[in-house]
Amino acid sequence: MPKTPPNPADYIAPLNMNGLQGRLLHMPAPKGQNREILFVYGHHSSLERWWGLMLNLNKMGAVTMPDLPGFGGMDSFYKIGQEATLDNLADYLAAFVKMRYKRRRLVIVGMSLGFVVATRMLQRYPELAKKVDMLVSFAGFAHRDDFVFTKTRWMMYRLGAGLFSLPVASSFFRHVCLNKHILRAVYKRTSNAKDKFRGVVGDELEEIMDFEVRLWHDNDVRTYMKTTVEFLTLDNCKKQVDLPVYHVAVQADRYFDNAIVEQHMRIIFKEFHLMANLKIGNHAPSVIADAKAAAPFIPPKLRRLLVTLTK
């Protein structure tokens, strides 16, 4: 009989952090490996969205991926009277690391905004850097100037995100703009979605669109918008981190200027190592990427380093 493919639901458990209810995905290390890998996802995320990438990382060690407040269906900071600021996300991640990896070392892999949160955590809690064997950036960034947006588009995003981070406006956005029928009709016509969906047709397009609707509904609107304001005004270059960074760039990244990203990372980290400049079409794997489709995001050079660490 053919082997039944693994199911993300088999590895997901409840997570209660600081009075916020969310979920945690944990995949034990394969035989012969003992490395602990913490994956911090980015914007517009859920645990299921990164399943294909987790299957690849799991070949090199145990993988843990916690929800972030306001993402993936987890309660938002607003439930406990806090804002969805980068500092609060960094404090949350630090609390998770201290709880989960008390006497264990770990590799941190941050995806896009997840890397920004991990960087800020290490800046606010420099003692945690001593536990980290390797810090990996998947299309991460460090400063507002890393974005390739025109001034007009930057201002449009900045003002729109600021408006919809307010309580009444965010409620309108959630109940009107994110109505599944409106969302399906409008979202695929936005500039970001056009890039995501380029070359995708038929059943695959419908599957991706269904998943996108789920993501928009699972992510808290105020958190989504407030964190958009945070990264559009970001400056993580004010404090150094006593670690090297291993960066995976995307050659045709629609968000970032890779040369400027590198300049800023060299300011923050004691060493900068470019693992690859991937010749792929998007900033991140498809939201429905399986293990095969997600595999190119872990380039051979990085795989070799992670395998070496696990021996």
Domain boundaries, the chain: 8-146+238-310, 151-226
pTM of the model: 0.94
Indicate the CATH number for domain 8-146+238-310: 3.40.50.1820
Is 70 in contact with 238 (CB distance < 8 Å)? no
- DSSP secondary structure of 8-23: GGGGEEEEEETTEEEE
pLDDT per residue as tens, the chain (311 positions) = 456 668 999 999 999 998 999 999 999 998 888 899 999 999 999 999 999 999 999 999 999 999 999 999 999 999 999 999 999 999 999 999 999 999 899 999 999 999 999 999 999 999 999 999 999 999 999 999 999 999 999 999 999 999 999 999 999 999 999 998 888 888 767 766 666 666 666 778 888 888 989 999 999 999 999 999 999 999 999 999 999 999 999 998 999 999 999 999 999 999 999 999 999 878 888 888 999 999 999 999 999 999 887 55
Residue 237 has what DSSP assignment? T
**Neighbour order of strands in the sheet with 132-138:** 12-17, 20-27, 62-66, 36-40, 106-111, 132-138, 241-250, 269-278
How far apart are the C-alpha atoms of 101 and 66, rounded to whole Å?
13
How far apart are the C-alpha atoms of 191 and 133, rounded to whole Å?
38
Q: Which residues pair with 12 in a beta bridge?
A: 25
How far apart are the C-alpha atoms of 288 and 61, rounded to whole Å?
23
